[in-house]
Amino acid sequence: MNLAGKVFIVTGASSGIGEHLSVVLAQKGAQVVCAARRADELTRVIGSIQAAGGSARAVQTDITDLDACRHLMKQTIESYGKLDGLVLNAGVSMWARFEDISDITFFQDLLNVNYLGAVNCCHVALPYLKETKGKIVSCSTAQALMGFPNHSGYVASKHALHGFLATLDMELQGEISILEAVLSWIRGTNLRDNAFGSDGKKHAHSARKHTNESVSLEECVEQIIQAIERDKKTVYIPRKLSMVPLLNTFFQGYLRRKVSGAIDKNES
């Protein structure tokens, strides 16, 4: 896909991967609609894009609200007349063993943002993506493919989204395309700074420092952009994650030991 002149919606565009993806898409000549709940941060992102000569506009959006998603789509079509790409990036995480959680009601928030919010966006965008034979890009995780300690609710929501998009891909083969970016730990995002803890409240978990196996925000976005341009169906970041489906099927014990070791490093 040549990105010049293409119209993209990016959810969760006010920080982290969403912000950097919006900036790079605009640098590549795309027209970007930045969606997020924080209007002040969206204004900052749009200002930096436009100052660099890019084309972008902000639409304050809570993706868990279907009417807000309809408004997002309406504003996009009124501004640019079409939609070529939908980037599902908005998300929220957690860090707690299930048995230690005192209030599990935040699991509904995880589902609402990570899964149902993405479904809302896909539902309103689909007619317009079919017109352009456009693309859905899911900023996913290896945790969508396997179990993962301390992330039970997050894993469940990402499994749901993975299955939903796999089904869409089968139903709409040839009408749209879907790219799943399977990510490991990414430095430079605020996912850990806004994650649910065992008490059911959001806490900063940034004290858990990333190991040297984590990937920088810039490298992550560069690989996602390349995958979009090359019309790939899956991109694993880092590449070694491509072994996860095989290992989870045939060498599950080994994979579990590796994951447990990675968790231990991130706990220290």
Strand arrangement, sheet containing 135-141: 55-60, 31-36, 7-11, 85-88, 135-141, 177-183, 234-237
Catalytic residue among 80, 154, 236, 254: 154
Closest CA to 258 of 240, 232, 239: 240
Q: Which of 5, 12, 2, 17 is nearest to 189 (CA)?
A: 17
Q: What one-letter code names the amino acid at 160?
A: A
Asked whether 13 and 56 are in contact (CB, 8 A), the reply is no
| DSSP classification of residue 116 | I
Alpha helices in 113-151 (DSSP H): 117-132
Task: Report the distance separating Cα 76 and Cα 136, nearest Å.
Answer: 16
**CA dihedral over 16, 242, 92, 37, signed as positive or negative:** positive
Task: Tell me if residue 154 is catalytic.
Answer: yes
Pairing relationship of beta strands 55-60 and 135-141 according to DSSP bridges = unpaired
Catalytic residues: 154
